[in-house]
C-alpha cells in the first residue's frame, strides 16, 4: 500500500526545519504560547490519534512557515502540538516539558518519540506520534508524522530511520485513562476515600482501577460507596508499582491518583501472577562488564535490553561474553534516560541496572 511504500522511500535523515515556539496562527485563537508548568488540557489517546489522522487524511503539506486552518504550524513539532491539543506551537526543544519520559516498552498510542539534536537542532531533530506496534518483536511501529511532502502514517523502524538510539519516548501529561477527557485530574483529597466515603470520586477511582486491570475485584462494577473491593484493587495497583508498607495501604494518595489519571503506572497483574513485580536481580558490580568478561549476567543484561527496545546493535542476539554490541546498546539506553558524558559510557552502573530491571 501507499503507507509501506512511503516508509521505504523515506529520507533516513529527516529534513525538518521548524519554527519557534509561539501562539496559534491562521484559524487558531490568539494569545501567548502555553507553558509546560501550567495545568494541561486533558485528552484521551483516541482523541490524539483522531487529530493526527485528520492531518494525514487532508495530506497537510509540510511547511515550517505555514499554518493549517486549525492554527498549528505545518512542521513536525506543530503536528504534535496539534495532536496533543497544546493550544500553542511548540518545537522539539520544548515538547518534552509537556510530557513525562517513559520507557519505549511502555509506549501506547498517542505517546511520542522525540529526538532533539542539542548539538545542531536544525539537523535531524524530529518527533513522531506513536500509533501502535506493527509486529510482535516491537521492532516496528505505526508512526504519524509531519514530514516532506505531507502528513502521513507509515510503518517505521523503532525508533526512527536514523539516530534511532537518541529518540526518547514521552507521554503527554494531560492524557487521561479510564475517564472522560473533561474530567478533573487533581487529587480530590484523602478524605474522599476510605470507610464511610460515598461520592463520585470513589466511582471514578473504581473505573480507573478496572481500566488498569482491577476488574476481578469488582463483582458489580464501580460505585460511589467505598467498599472492600476499592481497597483491595487500590492496594493491588500500589503493589504493582513496587510500593510497600504505608505506600500500599489500599487508600489512594496523590501519587496513586496521578498514575491512575495519567495511565502511566504499571497495570495490576492478573490473578495468580503475584501482586508485586519480580524483584530486580542483584547488581553484579562494574567489573563484571568489561572487555573479555563472561557470565550469565551479561546474557541477562542483553535480554533485558532487547525487551526494553535497546537491542539494535545485536547481530545474533545477547550472549554470555561482553562485546561492543552490548556496550553500544547500554549506551543507547543510558542516553534515552537523558544522560551524557561518563554517565552514558555504555558500561552499566547500579542506576542503569536498576532502571533496566524496573
Same domain, 7 and 146: yes
Same domain, yes or no: 166 and 199? no
Domain boundary pick from 114, 145, 172 = 172
- Taking only the tens place, the pLDDT of each residue in 263-293 is 777 889 887 655 444 456 788 888 889 888 8
Q: How many structural domains comprise the chain?
A: 3
- Say if residue 206 is in the same domain as residue 297: no
Pairing outcome for strands 140-146 and 126-133: antiparallel
Instruction: Give the model's confidence band at 5: pLDDT under 50 very low, under 70 low, under 90 confident, else very high.
Output: very low
| Assigned C-alpha cell, 196 | 464511610
H/E run at residue 44: none
Please give the residue range of the domain that contains residue 11: 2-172
Confirm if 16 and 125 have CB atoms less than 8 A apart: yes
Computed over every residue of the chain, the mean pLDDT equals: 84
Is the domain of 249 the same as that of 308? no
Task: Specify the CATH number for the domain of residue 309.
Answer: 1.10.101.10
Give the per-residue pLDDT at 14.
63
Same domain membership, residue 258 and residue 136? no
Q: Specify whether 44 is located in the same domain as 159.
A: yes
Residue 171 banded pLDDT, cuts 50, 70, 90: very high
258 and 163 part of one domain: no
* 155 in the same domain as 19: yes
Question: If we measure between CA atoms, which residue out of 106, 98, 107 comes closest to residue 174?
Answer: 98
Note whether residue 69 is domain-resident: yes
- What pLDDT, in 10s, does the model give residues 173-203? 888 853 333 345 688 888 999 999 998 889 8
Q: Residue 183's pLDDT is what? A: 42
Can you give the CATH number for the domain in which 28 is found? Answer: 3.90.1720.10
Sheet with 126-133, strands from edge to edge, namely 99-102, 168-172, 112-115, 126-133, 140-146, 151-157
**Res 129: pLDDT:** 97
pLDDT at 10: 46
Residue 3 pLDDT level (bands cut at 50, 70, 90): very low
Distances (CA, A) of 139 to 101, 105, 146, 164, 309: 20, 11, 21, 11, 7
Q: Domain for residue 280, yes or no? A: no
Q: Among 246, 262, 278, where does a domain finish?
A: 262
d(CA 46, CA 179): 12
Is the whole model's pTM more than 0.85, yes or no? no
Per residue in 310-356, pLDDT (tens digit) is 888 888 878 899 999 999 999 999 888 888 888 889 999 888 988 88
Based on its alpha-carbon atoms, the radius of gyration of the chain, rounded to whole angstroms, reads 22
Q: Does residue 234 sit within a domain?
A: yes
Joined together, the cell numbers standing for residue 356 give 533496566
Confidence grade of residue 133 (pLDDT, cut at 50, 70, 90): confident
pLDDT in tens, 240-253: 888 888 888 999 99
Q: What is the mean pLDDT of residues 146-154?
A: 93
Same domain? For 128 and 34 the reply is: yes
pLDDT of residue 121: 75
* Residue 136 falls inside a structural domain: yes
* Banded model confidence at residue 39, pLDDT cuts 50, 70, 90: low
Share of the chain above pLDDT 90, in %: 40
Backbone angles phi, psi at 26, to 5 degrees: 65, -120
Amino acid at each position: 500500500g501507499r503507507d509501506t511504500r512511503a516508509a521505504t522511500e523515506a529520507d533516513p535523515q529527516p529534513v525538518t526545519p521548524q519554527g519557534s515556539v509561539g501562539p496559534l496562527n491562521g484559524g487558531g485563537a490568539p494569545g501567548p504560547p502555553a507553558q509546560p508548568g501550567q495545568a494541561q488540557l486533558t485528552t484521551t489517546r483516541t482523541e490524539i490519534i483522531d487529530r493526527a489522522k485528520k492531518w494525514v487524511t487532508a495530506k497537510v503539506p509540510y511547511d515550517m512557515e505555514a499554518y493549517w486552518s486549525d492554527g498549528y504550524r505545518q512542521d513536525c513539532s506543530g503536528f504534535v502540538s496539534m495532536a496533543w491539543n497544546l493550544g500553542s506551537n511548540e518545537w522539539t526543544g520544548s515538547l518534552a516539558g509537556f510530557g513525562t519520559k517513559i520507557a519505549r516498552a511502555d509506549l501506547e498510542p498517542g505517546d511520542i518519540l522525540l529526538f532533539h539534536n542539542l548539538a545542531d537542532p536544525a539537523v535531524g531533530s524530529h518527533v513522531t506520534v506513536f500509533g501502535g506496534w506493527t509486529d510482535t518483536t516491537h521492532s516496528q511501529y505505526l508512526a504519524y508524522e509531519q514530514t516532506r511532502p505531507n502528513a502521513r502514517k507509515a510503518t517505521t523502524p523503532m525508533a526512527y530511520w536514523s539516530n534511532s538510539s537518541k529518540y526518547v519516548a514521552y507521554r503527554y501529561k494531560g492524557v487521561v485513562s479510564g475517564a472522560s477527557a473533561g474530567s478533573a485530574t487533581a487529587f480530590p483529597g484523602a478524605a474522599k476515600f476510605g470507610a464511610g466515603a460515598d461520592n463520585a470520586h470513589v466511582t471514578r477511582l473504581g473505573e480507573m482501577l478496572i481500566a488498569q486491570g482491577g476488574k476481578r475485584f469488582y463483582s458489580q462494577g464501580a460505585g460511589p460507596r467505598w467498599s472492600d473491593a476499592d481497597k483491595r484493587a487500590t492496594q493491588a495497583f500500589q503493589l504493582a508499582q513496587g510500593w510497600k508498607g504505608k505506600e500500599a495501604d489500599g487508600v489512594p494518595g496523590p501519587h496513586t491518583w496521578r498514575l491512575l489519571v495519567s495511565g502511566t503506572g504499571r497495570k495490576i497483574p492478573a490473578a495468580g501472577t503475584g501482586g508485586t513485580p519480580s524483584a530486580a536481580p542483584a547488581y553484579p558490580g562494574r567489573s563484571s562488564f568489561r572487555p573479555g568478561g563472561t557470565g550469565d549476567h551479561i546474557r541477562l543484561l542483553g535480554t533485558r535490553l532487547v525487551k526494553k527496545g535497546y537491542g539494535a546493535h545485536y547481530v545474533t542476539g545477547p550472549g554470555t561474553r561482553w562485546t561492543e554490541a552490548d556496550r553500544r546498546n547500554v549506551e543507547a539506553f543510558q542516553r534515552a534516560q537523558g544522560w551524557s558524558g561518563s554517565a552514558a559510557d555504555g558500561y552499566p552502573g547500579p542506576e542503569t541496572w536498576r532502571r533496566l530491571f524496573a
